[in-house]
């Protein structure tokens, strides 16, 4: 495995982690839609935030993570150049 391939794998792993974090934020937003006092009742140590915060962060994280997963080749080309091996 070349350095370029390892870089591509690391970009995809980071993208996967960001997608998973985005899904967690979307689940939290769904919980706040179902029960607006969820965090106050079941997670008293976490300060409550508006549902829009979780929804917005989840969507942005999902889009950024999917870009890293699907666009890793573009990032490789930017980092290493088109003809570099």
pLDDT digits (tens, 9 = 90+) for 21-45: 999 999 989 988 888 887 778 777 7
pTM over 0.75: yes
pLDDT value at residue 56: 95
pLDDT value at residue 85: 56
Evaluate whether residue 76 is within a structural domain: yes
Sequence-ordered alpha helix ranges (H) in 1-85: 3-34, 38-42, 51-70, 72-80
Mean pLDDT throughout 36-60? Answer: 84
Report how many domains make up the chain. 1
Evaluate whether residue 62 is within a structural domain: yes
Residue 15 CB neighbour total at 10 angstroms: 20
pLDDT band of 84, cuts 50, 70, 90: low
Coil, helix or strand at residue 16? helix
Evaluate whether residue 37 is within a structural domain: yes
Evaluate whether residue 51 is within a structural domain: yes
Query: What does pLDDT average to over the chain?
Result: 88
């Amino acid at each position: 495995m070349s350095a370029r391939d390892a870089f591509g794998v690391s970009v995809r792993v980071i993208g996967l982690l960001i997608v998973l974090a985005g899904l967690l934020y979307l689940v939290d937003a769904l919980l706040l839609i179902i029960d607006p006092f969820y965090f106050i009742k079941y997670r008293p140590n976490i300060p409550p935030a508006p549902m829009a915060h979780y929804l917005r962060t989840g969507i942005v994280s999902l889009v950024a993570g999917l870009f890293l997963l699907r666009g890793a080749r573009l990032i490789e080309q930017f980092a290493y150049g088109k003809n570099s091996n």
